[in-house]
Amino acid sequence: MGIRTRKKASIIRRLKSRIEGVGVSVRGLDKSLRKQALREVLAGVVYENLMVLEQQILSVLDQDGIAESVISDVSDFIVASEPQLRQRFIGVLGDVLERSPGVFGEILPNIYQAIHRDESVDFDRWLSDVGDGSNEEFVTGLDLGLAPLLDGGPVSFQLSGIQRTLTAYSTAHARLPLTITAVSGDRAWRAGDQIFLPKSIGEFKDSRDEQIYWGLAALLSGFLEFGSEDFIHQVEDGTMPSVHESTPNHHALFYRSFKHPIVASSLFPILELARVTTQVFLVYPGVAKASAPILKEILSRLLDETVPHEQYRTILWCCFIEIGDVETVYDRPAQWEGALATVTEAGSPVEATAAAVTALYPHFEQLFVESQPSETRSREIKHRTDGLDSSVRQSWGRERRLRDAMAAEGISVALTDVRRISSGVMNTGDSYREVNDFLDRNPVHRGGIVDSTDGDGSEGEEFLDKGGDVALVPGRGALYPEWDLRLGGYKQDWVRVTEYMVTREDAEFVDRVLDERGDVIGQVRRKFEAIRDDGMLRVRRVKDGDLIDIDAAIQARLDFKSTGHVNEAIYSRLRRRDQGLAVGFLVDLSSSTNEPAGFGARSILEVEKEALIVVCEAIDALGQQSAVWGFSGSGREEVSFYIAKRFHEDWNRSAKEKIGGLSWKMENRDGGAIRHAVSKFQENDAQTKLLVVLSDGRPLDCGSKEYRDQYGRADTRRALQEVKSAGISPYCITVDPSGASYLPELYGNVGYTVIESVTSLPDLMPRIIRQLTR
C-alpha cells in the first residue's frame, strides 16, 4: 500500500491495539498531554455549541490535576445524550483525531466503550474513516444521489463481484496502477490512484446496475488518462501568496488566484468531470453506448429533485447535453454557452476547464457571498471561544469554517488537509511521529508485538507480554551491513537480525484452511504430482537404461565396424534434472498486513498464510523443498526473523500449524531480513534456489529515521544483488497496487508480480511458482 495509507493503517492498527487494551494505556500517562487533548476536544465542543459538555470540560481544565473520571464523564455524556447531540460530539472526536492523533490517543481508549455502546456508530468504520478523503491531489467525483444505493438488498449489484475485474479495467484505461475501494454511501470519486465506488448499487435492479460501475470506472480513470493531473497553473509574479509547498499543487494555486478560492475549487471538479466525460465518451464509443444513457437518466432524475448544489448539477447536466442527443430540459444562462462549449470540445485539455471556471466564476461568487453566515453568528462563535487558548481557538475556527464552507459547496475535504493548507504544514509525517512517540512510550517486547487479536479476551495484557508464540533461538542471528545511499557504501554491522522459532501452532487456522480449501489443495497436489516428471532429465549414452539411444547405438555400430571395439553405452535413462529446487518464502509481517483483505473479514496476512499452505503443498508434491520465514521488527537493532518451516522439515500438520501461527508485528526493514534469508539458503545444496518475498508494501521501518523512501529501496536493492550473487533468484509477490512503480528498480522488470486482489493469492501462487521453476 502507499506510504500515506500505510502510515494511517499503522496508526489505526496500533491505536486499536491500545484501545482494546484499555487499562494499559491510560495509567501513568502524561497529564499535560491529557490536558492538551481535552483542550482540543473543548475547542470542537465550543464550536459545535455543545454547552453541557463544554462546562464539564472547562471545570476539569480549571483543576490542577485531571482525574481519569473526567474522561468517564465524557463517555457518560456520549451514552446519555440525545442521538443528534451524540452524533455531533462523535464528529468532534473524529476531527480531533485527525488534527492530533497522538494527543487524542490519550483519551481514545476511554471513549471507545462509549462510542461502541452506540449501535448507530460502527467504531471500526468510524476510526478507519477518519482522514478518508484527505489527499494532496485533485479530487473529483460524482454524487450519484441514488437513495436506494446503499445496501440495496439482495437484488442490488455488489461491487465485490467485479472489483478485481474493474481494477484491471481501470488500470488499463489510466495506464497506471489504480485501486478500487468499496465505500458506503452513494458517492463515487477518485483521489490520486484510488477510485472509490459504492459497495452496492440497486438503482435499477437489473443489469444496468452493473453497467453503472463500468461507466464510473471509465469516467474516474479518465481523469488520469485525459490529463486532469497535468494541470499547470502559470503563476504571475506577485499575485500568489507564499505557499508552503515543496511541490506546487497547481490546482490549489489556481483556486487561490480567486478572491473566494472555495468557489473556484467547487466549480473546477464539476467542469472537469464534464470535460473528462466528454473525452471518455468520444474516445470510447463502447462506453458512451453502454453507460451514457444510464448516467443521463440518473442525472435527469436529479434535476427533478430539490437537492443542494443544484446550480452545479445543472452545469454538469448542460455539459451532458453537449455530448449527445439529450433533450434540453433546462434553460441555461446565455453566458454559460461559450464556457461550456470549450470544455466539451473533442480533445479539450484541462486548461479549457480552468478557462471555463474563470468565465463562470463571477456568477457563482455572487451566490456564494449571499450564502455566507451572518456577522451575528461569527460574533457568537468568537464569544464562546474566548476562554480557550487563542491559537487553538483561531485555528479550529478557521479550519472548521473553511471545511464547512467547502462542504456546502459540495466538496468533501478532510480537516487534516484544511489544516495543512491553512497552516502551511505539508508534512503529514509530523502527526505520524506524534502518534508514534505516544505509542512508543509503552515498552515493546523484543520479539515484536504479539497479535492482540489472537487472545481470548485478555488482549491488552498480551500486548505487553513477552509473547508465547515465538521462542528466541539462542546464538542464532547476526549483525549485517546495511547499504547507505548517502555514503555510497555499507555501514558495517549495522543491523541486528534475531532469529525466533514460531512455537505457536494454530490448529484452528489449519482446520479452517483444509475445510475451505481442501479441494483446491487436492487439485494442486494432483496437478503438481502429474508434472513431476518435468523435473527429470533423459541421460544419454549410459550402459543401463529404459530406452535405446539411437544415436549412440548407430555410433557404436560404426565404431564396431571400423575398430572392432564394442561400446555398451547405448541406452538412455531418466534422472532428476538437477539436485532439486529450494524455495524460501520470506513474509513481510509488518502491521499493515493485519489490514482487511478485500471485502472479507480476513486480514492480508491470513490470506497470505492460506496461500503459503497451498503453495507448500504444491512444492512438496513436486518432491522439492520449501521454507517459510517471516520478518518484522522496529529499528536496526531489532529485525526479527521468524522461522515457521525449515527446508529439511517435513511438510506435515505441525509445519502447517506453525505457518498458521505467524502473526503481524511492526515494521519491515527488508534489507536485513533478506540478507539473513540468504544465510538460510547456505544450509541447502539445491541447484535451483528461489527466494520469494511476500510483501504488501515498500521497505519501511518507522522505528528508524532513515529506513524509508530512497534509502530503504537502495538498501533492499543492494541486498537483492547479494541474493543473486549467492546464486539465488529473488522474486517478489506483492499485494501493493503501487508495486509496479518501485519493484522494477528492486527486482528487475520481470522479477515481481502485483496481485490485484489478495484474496486470489492462494489460487495464483502455485501458478507463479510453477512458472518460475518450469
Partner 1 sequence: MRILTPDADEYLVTDEAPYLESADEVSLFEAAWRAKLPVILQGPTGCGKSRFVSAMAKRLGRPLITVACHEDLSASDLLGRHLIVGDETVWCDGPLTTGVRHGAIVYLDEVVEARNDTLVVIHPLTDHRRVLPLERLGCQLGAPEDFMLVVSYNPGYQSVRKEMKPSTRQRFATIEFDYPSKEIESEIIQSESGVSEDVAAALVEIGGRVRELKQRGLDEGVSTRLLVYAGKLIVLGVDAQAACEMAFVKNLTDDRQLQGAVRSLVSDHL
Instruction: Tell me which residues touch partner 1 (CB under 8 A).
Output: 162, 164-169, 171-173, 175, 177, 214, 218, 284-287, 290, 538, 540, 551, 554-555, 557-558, 561, 688, 690, 729, 731, 740, 749-754, 756-757, 760, 771-774
Strand blocks (E) in 485-607: 489-502, 536-542, 547-548, 571-576, 581-588
Give the shortest CB-352-to-partner 1 separation in angstroms: 23
- The residue among 75 and 158 lying less far from partner 1, judged by its C-beta, is 158
Q: Among residues 164 and 363, whose Cβ is nearest to partner 1?
A: 164
Cell of 220: 474516474
CB of 554 to partner 1, least distance (A): 6
Cβ distance to partner 1 smaller for residue 16 or 770: 770
CB 92 within 8 A of CB 45: yes
User: Which residues have a Cβ under 8 Å from the Cβ of 692 and sit 6 or more positions away?
Assistant: 583, 584, 585, 586, 731, 732, 733, 769
Q: Which is nearer to partner 1, 34 or 173 (CB)?
A: 173
**Residue 77 or 731 having the CB closest to partner 1:** 731
728 within 8 A of 647, measured Cβ to Cβ: no
Q: What is the nearest approach in angstroms of partner 1 to the Cβ of residue 764? A: 8
Give least dist CB 349 to partner 1, A. 20
Torsion angle, alpha carbons of 385, 388, 394, 399, to 10 = -80
Closest distance of CB 771 from partner 1, Å = 6
Nearer CB in complex with partner 1: 126/284: 284
C-beta of 548: minimal distance to partner 1 in Å?
15
Nearest residue (CB) to partner 1, 303 versus 550:
550
Beta strand 547-548 pairing with 581-588: unpaired
CA distance 184 to 191: 16
Q: Nearer Cβ to partner 1, position 307 or 531?
A: 531
| Smallest separation (angstroms) from partner 1 to the CB of 736 | 12
| Shortest distance in whole angstroms from residue 624 CB to partner 1 | 12
Q: Please report how close the Cβ of residue 440 comes to partner 1 at its closest, in angstroms.
A: 37
Name which of 52 and 537 has its Cβ closer to partner 1.
Answer: 537
Residue 650: all three cell numbers together: 517435513
Q: Which is nearer to partner 1, 84 or 749 (by Cβ)?
A: 749
Q: How far is the CB of 582 from partner 1 (least distance, A)?
A: 11
- Closest to 700 measured CA to CA, from 604, 589, 598, 594: 589
CB nearer to partner 1: give 163 or 593. Answer: 163
d(CA 11, CA 98): 11
Residue in this structure with the C-alpha cell 534509502, named with its chain if needed: 711
Where are any strands of DSSP class E within 184-332?
A: 187-191, 194-198, 200-201
Please name which of 562, 580, 567, 579 lies closest in space to residue 540, comparing C-alpha atoms. 567
> Which residues have C-beta within 8 Å of that of residue 487, sequence separation ≥ 6?
none
| Smallest separation (angstroms) from partner 1 to the CB of 772 | 5
- Pairing type for strands 625-633 and 639-645 reads antiparallel
Q: Which of 160, 186, 161, 166 is nearest to 178 (CA)?
A: 166
Closest separation in Å from C-beta 594 to partner 1: 25
- Please identify, using beta-carbon distances, which residue of 402 and 604 lies nearer to partner 1: 604
In the complex, what is the shortest distance from the CB of residue 538 to partner 1, in angstroms, rounded to a whole number?
7
List all residues 6 or more positions away from 30 whose beta carbon is below 8 Å from its beta carbon. Answer: 106
CB of 521 to partner 1, least distance (A): 19
Q: How far is the CB of 614 from partner 1 (least distance, A)?
A: 16
C-beta closer to partner 1: residue 225 or 606: 225
Cα-Cα-Cα-Cα dihedral of 159, 163, 166, 171, to 10°? 140
Which is nearer to partner 1, 291 or 632 (by Cβ)?
291
Q: How far is CA 55 from CA 58, 209, 394, in A?
A: 5, 50, 20
For residue 148 the three cell numbers come to 436506494
What is the grid cell recorded at 715? 538498501
Question: How far, CA to CA in Å, does 583 sit from each of 202, 276, 524, 684, 699?
Answer: 47, 47, 17, 10, 22
Instruction: Please name the residue that has the C-alpha cell 485525459.
Output: 226
* C-beta separation of 577 from 536 below 8 A: yes
Q: How many residues are given for the chain?
A: 774
Of 701, 653, 348, 305, nearest to 511 by C-alpha is 653
Query: Considering beta carbons, is residue 180 or 405 the nearer one to partner 1?
Result: 180
Residue matched to cell numbers 453566458: 335
Least distance between partner 1 and beta carbon 295 (Å):
15
CB nearer to partner 1: give 45 or 723: 723
Nearer to partner 1, 80 or 172 (CB): 172
**Least gap, CB of 683 to partner 1 (angstroms):** 19
List the one residue out of 644, 657, 511 whose CA is nearest residue 589.
644
- Measure the CA–CA gap between 499 and 497, rounded to whole angstroms: 7
Using alpha carbons, select from 368, 398, 354 the residue that is nearest to residue 251: 354
Secondary structure (3-state) at 196: strand
Alpha-carbon separation of residue 462 from 467, 468, 766 (angstroms): 7, 9, 35
The C-alpha cell that represents 774 in the structure block:
518450469
